Amino acid sequence: MKNQNGTFKDWANANVSRQIEDTVLYGYYTLYSVILFCVFFWIPFVYFYYEEKDDDDTSKCTQIKTALKYTLGFAVICALLLLVGAFVPLNVPNNKNSTEWEKVKFLFEELGSSHGLAALSFSISSLTLIGMLAAITYTAYGMSALPLNLIKGTRSAAYERLENTEDIEEVEQHIQTIKSKSKDGRPLPARDKRALKQFEERLRTLKKRERHLEFIENSWWTKFCGALRPLKIVWGIFFILVALLFVISLFLSNLDKALHSAGIDSGFIIFGANLSNPLNMLLPLLQTVFPLDYILITIIIMYFIFTSMAGIRNIGIWFFWIRLYKIRRGRTRPQALLFLCMILLLIVLHTSYMIYSLAPQYVMYGSQNYLIETNVTSDNRKGNSTLFVPKRCDADAPEDQCTVTRTYLFLHKFWFFSAAYYFGNWAFLGVFLIGLIVSCCKGKKSVIEGVDEDSDISDDEPSVYSV
């Protein structure tokens, strides 16, 4: 709606700009409502439906009833979040001597004036907070694990087969030694029986590994991935450079908030960027050439998705110290896939604030400028003259000169969420550094990593694992 010199375009009058803002706002209402529906209704219903499906004697009708019963609990949580967000008093009545009824009336008037923005913002911010925890756990680790795994590659299938064969021979010797003790008919001691059982279980696992290693060593996919090895190294180097760019930008942005923000009570809002970071400078420049900024934002989001999936696949899905599910190619349970979709949905939701942390100027105002008065001393004329020069929009700009983006309103409606996101960014940086150290110290992954742990892997023809 504005020219680069800071003036509004001819068609951008107050009514038109208000209509555009409302259209964008209603678009966010629709998209965020779809997210709430998926998180609190659709995904819980399908999850509990599949949980009941595990029982063979359960009928379809019983499955649906049970799933609806548990989904009702999530619907109640969603309703509570909307109610709390709708009636949290962001403003206080001007009259301190007002009665309780006047205070309640003020809350309803505030709800009507905001068109439900606070209610939806509180619900989405609550989910974004959960997404922040998922991003700290999975995305931060995946940003270091994914590129280093691509660079290091996996171990040789032929070498692993040789090691596995030696282990099989060693275990068989132990079994023979224990069984030889009972050749004269004497029963084995309890300790030898336990040891024999453990060795036999170990032998079954090793033979299962042998079948998988043989299949992978002879598969065409292994040979194809071997030919792509140089390309994987290039991608790994590219991803680690992108990760360092994000980390440096996030660190500078958080440091700027720590040094120059208005404090925790304001959600660490910055009045103008004092420490510039690469992305905060690049995105407003790209916005002037449509659609370069959208392309970069899409790349950033896809990068977060890929690194998050890498982190989830490496770590698995946990509930505190309890491992719920593992993500494995061709062998993941439906419930685990639903959990994966839920986690990725929440992480993408948190990406909105992550992009704000990386480029606060772009998210708040984009490439908008406004005019400020400056006094210029002329050599030809005595005295000063007034000159209007364009300046980049920031938090100090007049409200009628700079339009704040609708997404920023959603992100910063409640200061305590913004404060939590700020501290979460520091935790994100810490987990990334820890993950980087761990990934550097770990050796190459096995071509069949996870087979030793997976007791439910069938003995049929193995699927091709990532190599």
Residue 144 in any domain: the answer is: no
% pLDDT > 70, the chain: 84
* 49-59 pLDDT tens trace: 887 776 666 77
The mean pLDDT value of the chain amounts to 78
Whether residue 310 lies inside any domain: the answer is: no
207 within a domain of the structure (yes/no): no
Does residue 26 lie in a domain region? yes
Distance CA 67, CA 84 (A): 26
Q: Please, is 153 exposed, middle or buried when counting C-beta atoms within 10 Å of its C-beta (0-12, 13-18, 19+)?
A: middle
Domain boundary among 87, 121, 153: 87
ω into 291 cis (within 30 of 0): yes
Strands (E) located in 248-348: 317-319, 322-325
Beta carbons of 274 and 260 less than 8 angstroms apart: yes
By the 8 A CB rule, do 70 and 46 touch? no
pLDDT band at 465 (very low <50, low <70, confident <90, very high): very low
Does the pLDDT at position 451 exceed 50? Answer: no
- The residue segments making up the domain with residue 82 are 1-87
Residues near 298 by beta carbon (within 8 Å), at least 6 away in sequence: none
Selection from 432, 278, 290, 430 nearest residue 359 by Cα: 278
Q: Tally the domains of the chain.
A: 2
Question: Token pair of 464, please?
Answer: 């091709």
* Structural domain contains residue 173: no
Contacts of residue 46, Cβ cutoff 8 Å, sequence gap at least 6: 67, 338
The confidence band for 457, taking pLDDT boundaries of 50, 70 and 90, is: very low
Residue 1 lies in a domain: yes
Last residue of a domain, one of 377, 402, 427: 402
Domain end, chosen from 60, 87, 114, is at 87
pLDDT tens-digit map of 146-165: 888 888 887 777 778 888 88
Residue 49 lies in a domain: yes
* 373 is a domain residue: yes
Q: How far apart, in Å, are the Cα atoms of 339 and each of 16, 39, 390, 423?
A: 43, 10, 49, 26
